[in-house]
Amino acid sequence: PLIRLEDYRPSDWLIDTVDLDINLHPQKTQVRALLGLRPNPAGRLGAPLILDGDELSLSGLRLDGLLIDESAYSATAQALTLHAPPQRRFTLTIDTQVDPSANTKLMGLYRSSRVYCTQCEADGFRRISYFLDRPDVMSIYSVRLEAAKLEAPVLLSNGNLVAAGEMAGGERHFAVWHDPHPKPAYLFALVGGALDHVRQDYVTADGRKVELAVHVEPGKAGRAGWAMDCLVRCMRWDERVFGRNYDLDVFNVVAVSDFNMGAMENKGLNIFNDKYVLADPQTATDGDYASIEAIIAHEYFHNWTGNRITCRDWFQLCLKEGLTVFRDQEFSADERSRPVKRIADVRTLRSTQFSEDAGPLAHPVRPRAYKEINNFYTPTVYEKGAEVIRMLKLLVGDDAFRAGMDLYFDRCDGTAATIEEFLACFAETSGKDLTQFARWYEQAGTPTIVASGRYDAAARTYTLDLAQTTAPTPGQPDKQPVVLPVALGLVGKAGDLPLVTGSAAYAGDGVIVLDQPSLSVAFSDVDEPPIPSLLRGFSAPARLELDLADADLLRLFSADSDSFNRWQALQSVASRALVSAGRSPGGHNALIATAGELAEALAGFLRVQAPADPAFAAQVLRLPVPADIAREIGRDVDPDAIHAAHRSLAAEIGLRLRPHLMELRERLGTSAAYRPDAASAGRRALRNEALGLIALADPEAGARLAEAQFAAADNLTDRLAALAAMTLVPGDAREALIARFAKTYAAEPLVLDKWLMAQALIAEAGTLDRVKGLMQHPAFSLGNPNRVRALIGGFAANLTQFNRPDGEGYAFVADMVVALDRTNPQVASRLLGSFKSWRMLEPARKALAEQKLAMVAQTPGLSRDVADIAERALA
Ligand code: ARG
Ligand code: ZN
C-alpha cells in the first residue's frame, strides 16, 4: 500500500513503558514484552488496538496479567489486534519466539558471526515483538537479557546497566538495562556475544562521567583504538560547537560483520558495520580512517539530532539524517582540511545524488509518499538534506543558525518533530520568512543556474544575469523557483574586486540570493573586466552553466581566493572537453589540446603549490569521473565513448606531466612509519594520484612503479593504490599482483572486499567472467552484505562493463537481484538501484536495460523493497 504524508494521524494508543525479557537462543529466542498502554488523548476514542508484526507468531497474550478470550483479539504474522481494548491504562504481556539464526534479512534480531544483534530502523522492531512500530510512539524501556554465558558473555542494551548475575546452575546469566530517555522502537537494540573491547573514561563538559567502550570480535581490540579516538574527539566537538553533552553513564559501540547499512544510532548502543570501526595500518586505508571518523561522529551526533529529538513519521527522515550528515561533515571539516572535505563531499553529492535526481528514482528531500521506507535512505535524504541545512546556515548567518539550533534543542527535546517545527526555530531567530526556502524539502530535481556577465567599461559596471530552472521529475512536471544562495566573487588582476551594489538580491558578504526565475545584479565601481567566480564553496546544490573561456577558468584556477572554485575551475575545463568528446567520438584533437592546457596549468601548480597542500593537490589531479560526464551529456549516452575520452585525456596529461609527477613522488616519499592523520594521508593521496596518471600514460613504467610500491609499502593505502594502478594495465604482471594481494590478505575479509572491488571495476570485456569466477572464491559470500556490495555492487558501478553493449552486464546484475531478494531484500533493492540511470543511455543499451528491469519486475514473489524500485525505475 502507498503511505502518504497527508494521511498522517496521531496514534490512537500510546505505550509509556516497555519491559522486555529476552531469552537468547540461536534458534528459539523467547521474547516477553510487557507494554504499558493508554489511549492517546490526541487519537480516536474507542479505536481498536492494532500492533504491527512482521513474520511473528504469538505464543502468549495477557491483559493486565490475565488470559483473555480468543474472540477478543486476532493475531497474524503482520498484526495483533485487540478489537475492543479497555479505554483506560492497561498492560499487555506478549510472548513471541523468534529464530535469530534464520534471519537473513538482517532486520530485527539476528546473528552475525555468532553475535546476537539487532537492527530496528526503520521497522524491524515488529520482527521481534508486536508493537506500535512508529517513531511518534515513545516509551521508557527496561530490558532483561538472558543467555548462555559461554555463548554470550557480553550482554548489552540501551541505557545504563542496572543489574547482572548468574542463573541457578551457572550455565546462563542475565543483565538488566534501563534507558531513562523515552524513545521510539526503532532505537531499541541489544547485543549478545563473545566480544573484546577497548574502554575509556570520559567526563562531559557539564560534568557527567561516562564509560565509553568499543566492542569488537575477539582478537580485534587492537583495531578499535582509532574508533575510540574519533569518539572522544567528536564528543568534545559537539560540546564546543553545538553545546550538546552526552546524557547516559555508558556509551557502547559494537562492530558486527553482517550489516545492511553503515551503522545505527541506537540510544547508548551504536551498532556498526565492522568496516566502519576496525582500523589499523595493515587492514584499513586512509579513506577507511576518514570514513570511520565521519560515521562514528554521525552516529554519536544522532544522540541529539535523531534520538533526543526524533521524527514524527518517516517522511521527516531528513530531519535527523540531513541535519546529522551536515553535523558530521562540519566535524570532519574542522578536524581535517575544510576545502578538501568540501570537495570530497561535493564529488559524492554529484555522483550519487545528482544522478538520483536526474533519473526515475528522483524524489524530494521529504518524500510525499512511499511504499517501502527502507528505499528512502537515499543520497537525496542524506546528502541533499545536508546541503539544505548548509544553505539555511548561509542564509540566516552563523549566529541565527546557532541560536536556531539551540531553540530547536530546547523546544523539541523529548518529542517526535517535523521539518515545519525545525524551520520555525530559524524563522524565529533570524526574523526571516522561510516559506519559499521550505520548497527545498518538497521539490525534487537539481536546479540549473544559467549565468552570464557583461562588463561596461565606460560605466564601470558589471552586470550579472542569473536564471534558474529545474527539469521535471516523476510526479512533478512543473517546477517552482527555489531559494539559491549564490556565493560569489569578481576576480580581477590582483584578486577579488570589492562588490558594490544596491541590488536587493545581494545579501551582503558575497552572496546573491537567487529566488526568482531570473534576476540581474549590477555591480558598480568595477575598474576592470572581472572573471565571475560563482557558487563559491558550492553554496547551493545546483548545476551551473556559465560560459567562461578556458583561459578564464585557468585564471580562476590560479587566482581565485576560494579553494573550492579553484578546484572547480580545472574540473570545468576537463569536463567540457570530456562531454564534447563523449558526445561525438572523433574529437580527439580537441581533447589533446585541452590536455595541453591542463598540463601546462598543472605543471607550475605541482612544482610550487602541491607540496604545501598535497591533499588539495590530489583532488586537483583527479579528473571528473566518467559517470559525471555521462550525466552532463544526459541523453543517448555511450559509456564506451566517455570512457575512451576519459582515458585519453588522463593518459595525455600523465604523459606531459610525467617528469613532474615522478619528481613529486620522490619529494613526497617518506621513510617514516604510517600515521593516519590528514596531512600524512594527503601526501599518500597525491603520490598515488600521480601513480595512476603515470600508469595510464605509460603502462610499463606504471606497472614497475606499482610493483615496487606494493613491495615497499608498510600500509594498506599504498598497497591498494598499487593494485588499483596495476589493474589499469592488462597482462601477467597484473594477474601476479592480484594473486599476491589475495595471499597477503587471505585472513582479512574487509581487505579482500577491496580486492574484489578493484577487480570488479576493471574496464575490460573480461571483467564479467572474472566477477562470475570470483563468486566461487572462498573470500566471497552472497550472505554477507559487504561482500555483495564489493563484488556485485562494484561491478554494477563499472560504467563500461555494467553497460556492456550485449546487455550481459544488466542480465548478471538483474539475476543477482532476484537471487538476493529471497534472502535479503534490502541488499537486493540497493543493488537494483544501479539501474537508476538507464533512461539516459543510447537506444540499444536502453532497450536491453529495460528488458532486464522488466524481468525483475515480473518475477513472482518479489519483496516490497525490490518491487518498489523496479516499478519506479520503469514508470
Ligand atoms: N539511521 C542510520 C544512519 O543513518 C541508518 C539506518 C538505516 N537502516 C535501514 N535499514 N534503513 O546512521
Ligand atoms: Zn544517520
Protein residue whose Cα sits closest to atom 8 of ligand 1: 121
Average confidence (pLDDT) over 21-35: 98
Active-site residue, 299 included: yes
Whose grid coordinates read 497474524?
76
Average pLDDT in the 421-444 region? 98
pLDDT at res. 671: 82
- The pLDDT tens digits of the residues spanning 68-124 come to 999 999 999 999 999 999 999 999 999 999 999 999 999 999 999 999 999 999 999
The confidence score (pLDDT) of residue 623 equals 97
Average pLDDT value for residue range 307-328 = 99
CB 818 within 8 A of CB 859: yes
Q: Full-prediction pTM beyond 0.95?
A: yes
Residue in 123, 261, 316 to alter for ligand 1 test, most ligand atoms within 8 A of Cβ = 261
State the distance from the centre of ligand 2 to the C-alpha of 571, rounded, in angstroms: 30
The per-residue pLDDT for 588 is: 80
Helix (H, G, I), strand (E, B) or coil at 2: coil
Q: Are 119 and 259 in contact (CB under 8 A)?
A: yes
The alpha carbons of the chain give a radius of gyration, in whole angstroms, of: 28
- Pocket flag, ligand 1, residue 324 (CB < 6 Å): no
- Find the 842 Cα to ligand 2 centroid distance in Å: 36
Tell the residue nearest (CA) to atom 12 of ligand 1: 264
Mean pLDDT of 794-800: 98
- Please give the pLDDT value at position 362: 98
Residue 586 has pLDDT above 90, yes or no: no
The predicted model gives 45-59 an average pLDDT of 98
Mean predicted lDDT score pLDDT of the chain = 98
Distance 300 CA to ligand 2 centre (A): 9
Confidence check on the interface: ipTM exceeds 0.95, yes or no: yes
Nearest CA to ligand 1 atom 1: 264
Average pLDDT over residues 319-323: 99
**Is it the case that residue 365 has pLDDT exceeding 90?**
yes
pLDDT in tens, 477-510: 999 999 999 999 999 999 999 999 999 999 999 9
The mean pLDDT of 184-197, rounded to a whole number, is: 99
Quick check: 589 pLDDT over 90?
Answer: no
Q: If you measure from the C-alpha of residue 265 to the centroid of ligand 1, how many angstroms do you get, rounded to a whole number?
A: 8
- What was the pLDDT predicted at 862? 98
Cα 255 to ligand 2 centroid, rounded to whole Å: 16
Which residue in this structure is represented by grid cell 538580491? 505
Choose one of 54, 377, 383 to mutate for the ligand 1 pocket test, by most ligand atoms within 8 angstroms of C-beta.
377
Q: CA-CA distance, 617 to 599, in Å (whole number)?
A: 13
- Pairing relationship of beta strands 448-456 and 543-546 according to DSSP bridges: parallel
Closest ligand to residue 321's CA? 2
Q: Assess whether the C-beta atom of 325 lies below 6 angstroms from ligand 1.
A: no
781 SS3 class: coil
Of these residues, 265, 299, 372, 652, which one is catalytic?
299
Q: What does the DSSP 8-state code read for residue 389?
A: H
- Closest ligand 1 atom to the C-alpha of 302? 12
Q: Which residues pair with 462 in a beta bridge?
A: 455, 523
Which atom of ligand 1 is least distant from the CA of 299? 12
Cα 327 from Cα 334, distance rounded (Å): 11
Cα–Cα distance, 123 to 650 (Å, whole number): 46
What one-letter code names the amino acid at 856? V
Please give the number of the atom of ligand 1 that sits closest to the Cα of 263.
12
Give dist(CA 538, CA 639) in Å, integer. Answer: 27
- The confidence band for 584, taking pLDDT boundaries of 50, 70 and 90, is confident
Q: Which atom of ligand 1 is nearest to the CA of 377?
A: 11
Residue with CA closest to ligand 1 atom 11: 374
The response to whether residue 187 sits with its C-beta less than 6 Å from ligand 1 reads no
Q: Whose CA is nearest to atom 5 of ligand 1?
A: 264
pLDDT value for 79: 98
- The H or E element that residue 751 is part of is helix 749-760
Q: Report whether residue 273 contacts ligand 1, using a CB cutoff of 6 Å.
A: no
Q: Give 324 Cα–ligand 2 centroid separation in angstroms.
A: 6
In angstroms, rounded to a whole number, what is the distance separating the alpha carbons of residues 273 and 255?
Answer: 6
DSSP single-letter state for residue 586 = T
pLDDT in tens, 260-279: 999 999 999 999 999 999 99
What is the mean predicted confidence (pLDDT) over 389-412? Answer: 98
Question: Taking the CA of residue 82 as centre, how many other CA atoms within 13 Å lie in the half-sphere pointing to its CB?
Answer: 25
**Is 383 a pocket residue for ligand 1 (Cβ < 6 Å)?**
no
Determine if residue 397 is left, alpha or beta; phi over 0 gives left, psi from -120 to 50 gives alpha, anything else beta.
left
Q: How far apart are CA 244 and CA 306, in angstroms?
A: 13
376 close to ligand 1 (CB < 6 Angstrom): no
DSSP conformation class of 498: P
pLDDT of 837 higher than 90: yes
Element (H, E) at 30: strand 29-39
Mean pLDDT of 400-407: 99
Give residue 614's pLDDT band: very low, low, confident or very high (50, 70, 90): very high
Give distance in angstroms: CA of 376 to centre of ligand 1.
10
User: What is the total residue count of the chain?
Assistant: 875
Residue 670 has pLDDT above 90, yes or no: no
- Ligand 1 atom with the smallest distance to the CA of 295 is 12
Q: Is the pLDDT of residue 587 over 80?
A: no
